[in-house]
Amino acid sequence: MRSRPPEERFRAGRRVAIAGIVVSAFLACTNILVGVLASSTSVLATGLEFAADVLASSIVLAAMIVGARPADANHPYGHGRAETLAGFIVGIIVLGGGVAISYQSLQAIGAVHRAPGMAAVVALLVAIALRAVMSTVKFRVGRRIQSASLVADAWNDTIDILSAGAALTAVGLAIYDPARFQAADHYGGFAVGLIVVVTGLRIARDASLELVDTMPEPAMAEEIREVAASVPGVGRVEKVHARKTGLQYHVDLHIEVDPQLTVEASHAIAGHVRAALRSALPWVADVLVHVEPAPSRCQ
């Protein structure tokens, strides 16, 4: 399936990242203010989580700007790994934020304060609605452009919905019966923190798989084999290795050709394979083709 050029994909990702920063900043300010005024630990915890999201989305935006730079003498594979590294950093930030939120919420258990007001409910409902929109957009754009950091940010937004939902439940119980469920608000904040911790671990894990050059999905590797094998002169595709650098993959390919061919003819076939892959698979940034003589049984 064809996709847009890398430059356009980076631009699309940057627009979404900027929108995410604006939304997160608005939600952070709103929920922190309401959490303090309404004496709600859950809403305050959610607001602090949104504040961390501003930092996370800013890192994603910076990484996309750096990742869009072309290859140079010191970075022959381009700067795309900055985008993957950003996804890992976002995971660590989310993980640390979750631990802090859980700790602070447990510290508040036993404190006596008035029950949260309806403003807390409204703030959380607005947060859930906006996060639902942003997570949908980030998932769609992030997966289309194959951006690890934007997908990580989308997961972050999705978990924000779950954590805001947990906070909403806790606040609702505290409002319904303050005498019995006042501690529910604090436990709700603790639940928010746990959800955030799990999300941070998942985001960091997914990004680390790309950083250690994990192979793409089997279906993608098979696409590479099929395109390469379709080039005239290729007897067999022996090996396919690929690693992701930003939004695209760099491929190492071993093909077998007729051993009676000249070096020039073999080199020409390798060039045709490289051109075919880059043309047919836009997610392939470049290809290094190794030419090997085919065994007599394959001739």
Domain parsing of the chain, residue ranges = 6-211, 218-298
Strand-pair category, 236-245 with 284-293? unpaired
- For residue 240, the SS3 value is strand
- Strand ranges inside 105-259, DSSP E: 236-245, 248-257
Give the tens place of pLDDT for each residue, 224-259.
999 999 999 999 998 999 988 877 888 999 999 999
Residue 1 has pLDDT above 50, yes or no: no
Question: How far is residue 151's CA from residue 15's CA, in Å, rounded to a whole number?
Answer: 14
Give the tens place of pLDDT for each residue, 163-178.
788 778 877 877 777 6
User: Which amino acid does the sequence have at 26?
Assistant: F
Give the tens place of pLDDT for each residue, 23-42.
989 999 998 998 888 777 77
Q: Going by CATH, does the domain composed of 6-211 fall within 1.20.1510.10?
A: yes
Q: Going by CATH, does the domain composed of 218-298 fall within 3.30.70.1350?
A: yes
Q: What is the pLDDT of residue 282?
A: 83
Residue 211 has pLDDT above 70, yes or no: yes
Burial state string for 201-226 with b = 16 or more CB within 10 A and e = fewer than 16: ebbbebbeebeeeeebeeebbebbee
Give the tens place of pLDDT for each residue, 117-138.
788 888 889 999 998 999 999 8
Model confidence band, residue 182 (pLDDT cutoffs 50, 70, 90): low
| This prediction's pTM | 0.62
Give CA separation, 296 vs 253, 257, 260, in Å. 21, 11, 11
CB 31 within 8 A of CB 43: yes
